[in-house]
Amino acid sequence: MKSSIRFACLAAILAGLTQLPVGVATSQVAEEGSDMPPPPPPLPEITYYDGADWKPLGRHGISVEGAGATPAGAATATFKAKLDGPKTYVVLDGATSEVLLSGPRPRFRIESDRTGAFRVQLAQFETRDDSRRTTIERVRSGAFYTKGVDLEVMEIAEGLWELRPTKSLQPGEYALAVSDTEPAADFTIVDKGY
């Protein structure tokens, strides 16, 4: 019995030793092939209709502040936020957007697949000092913008989707976003909704 245990241990050790060089060679090939991981694919362009033509809606970087600003604090921050505790914010620099829209129900387009189009969220932001912010909750699929406005999403051509708010937007700051890590496409509504 002892010899069969020794044989099994010896076989396991030898199997581990023979697999080690394969893993080392694979990682060496990966390191020799490139120093950096490949860049992420570019974000799809979002356009808006200005009454005469479709124009690109620029994206701006965002930052996350508050209790859930790090992945480690996500679960606690979401639980406390629901109990009116500390909040997690997505922040855009600047007191207002460069893009001013006068219609209360703007139209947007994005070239994407179905999943990408339905991931877009429209969120209302509050102005604080020289920045704009809105609250989020961490969920399994990423971030959920709690001051969101429902969007009607319809495919108008193969891979081209139109997004419209389901209700009129009040004057203020808004952004189209997918997550709390990717840049957001921001705009300002200047006319009162109807």
More confident residue, 14 or 101: 101
Do residues 26 and 96 share a domain?
A: no
Average pLDDT, the chain: 78
Partnered with residue 88 across adjacent β-strands are 66, 136
pLDDT of residue 175: 95
**50 and 91 inside one domain:** yes
Percent of residues, the chain, with pLDDT higher than 90: 47
Structural domain of 23? 1-39
- Looking at the fold, whether 60 and 91 belong to one and the same domain comes out as yes
What pLDDT was estimated at residue 89?
87
The answer on 33 and 9 residing in a single domain is yes
**Residues 71 and 165 placed together within one structural domain of the fold:** yes
Q: Looking at the structure, tell me whether residues 108 and 33 fall in a common domain.
A: no
Q: What is the pLDDT of residues 48-77, one digit of tens each?
A: 999 899 999 999 998 888 876 765 544 444
Kindly state whether residues 96 and 73 are assigned to the same domain: yes
Whole-number Å distance between alpha carbons of 111 and 43: 10
Q: What is the pLDDT of residue 134?
A: 92
- pTM for the predicted model, two decimal places: 0.70
pLDDT digits (tens, 9 = 90+) for 129-142: 899 999 988 777 77
Instruction: Judge if 120 and 66 occupy the same domain.
Output: yes
Structurally, the chain folds into a number of domains equal to 2
pLDDT at 114 over 50: yes
Same domain, yes or no, for 15 and 64? no
pLDDT digits (tens, 9 = 90+) for 17-36: 444 443 434 334 444 555 77
pLDDT reported for residue 178 = 87
Q: pLDDT band at residue 6, thresholds of 50, 70 and 90? A: low
Tell me if 194 is assigned to some domain: no
In a domain, 163, yes or no: yes
